[in-house]
């Protein structure tokens, strides 16, 4: 029963993430990303995948700080980015189960660095890396609902990149 509930949480997390990827404004991306992280953290806890759960918890804390900074119009200081990435690494190592635990550490570290920047194109590009890493991890730990959702989510990111970055850049290039 808890496995079924975990799969439902994984699917809901992916729906929230897909909404996140389609946002034009960074604060909306952060809000939906936080909801996704909470839902995914719950899924990983139900599956006893502690590495993933710890990393998702670190992501929630990161998002709260980034949201506050963004609302105040402040950039993320380099030292804070280092703390966020360190928290991801520590969280991943605390819940280390096997070598598959390295995938979310690498993916989330990459995404965290991108999220601390102002460039939404970079953030969406980093999503491709992080999603690929989470897909591998999710399949390895049996989070099949989450893995299916992540594959759909990856499609959503690709659509967002095309819609918000490639086509927009093409339109701006034609105007030059």
- Three-state SS letters, 41-84: HHHHHHCCCHHHHHHHHHHHHHHHHHHHHHHCCCCCCHHHHHHH
Q: Is the pLDDT of residue 53 over 50?
A: yes
Residue 165: closest CA among 101, 113, 111, 122: 122
- Give per-residue pLDDT as tens, 69-108: 988 999 889 999 999 999 999 988 988 888 998 999 999 9
Give the CA distances from residue 73 to residues 8, 60, 66, 67, in Å, rounded to whole numbers and listed in that order: 36, 20, 10, 10
Can you tell me which residue has the tokens 């759909």? 152
- Give per-residue pLDDT as tens, 122-165: 988 998 999 999 999 989 988 888 888 889 889 988 988 898 88
Residues 15, 153: Cα–Cα separation, whole Å: 8
As given in the structure block, the two tokens for residue 143 are 């989070």
- Give 101's contacts (C-beta < 8 A, 6+ positions apart): 51, 92, 93, 95, 137
Q: Are 11 and 149 in contact (CB under 8 A)?
A: yes
Give the CA distances from residue 143 to residues 7, 25, 55, in Å, rounded to whole numbers and listed in that order: 6, 30, 16
Q: What angle do CA 51, 121, 160 make, to 5 degrees?
A: 85
pTM metric for this prediction: 0.78
Q: Is the pLDDT of residue 67 over 80?
A: yes
Annotated domain spans of the chain: 2-175
Burial class (CB in 10 A: 0-12, 13-18, 19+), 122: middle
């Amino acid at each position: 029963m808890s496995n079924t509930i975990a799969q439902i949480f994984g699917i809901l997390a992916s729906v929230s993430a897909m909404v996140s990827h389609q946002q034009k404004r960074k604060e909306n991306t952060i809000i939906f990303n936080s909801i996704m992280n909470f839902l995914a953290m719950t899924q990983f806890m139900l599956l006893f995948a502690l590495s993933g759960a710890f990393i998702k918890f670190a992501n929630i804390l990161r998002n709260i700080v980034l949201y506050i900074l963004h609302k105040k119009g402040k950039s993320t200081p380099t030292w804070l980015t280092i703390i966020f990435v360190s928290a991801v690494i520590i969280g991943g190592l605390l819940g280390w189960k096997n070598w598959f635990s390295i995938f979310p550490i690498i993916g989330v570290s990459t995404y965290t660095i991108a999220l601390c920047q102002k460039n939404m194109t970079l953030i969406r590009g980093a999503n491709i890396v992080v999603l690929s890493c989470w897909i591998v991890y999710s399949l390895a730990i049996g989070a099949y609902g989450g893995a299916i959702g992540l594959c759909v989510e990856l499609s959503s990111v690709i659509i967002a990149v095309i819609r918000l970055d490639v086509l927009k850049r093409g339109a701006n290039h034609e105007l030059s």
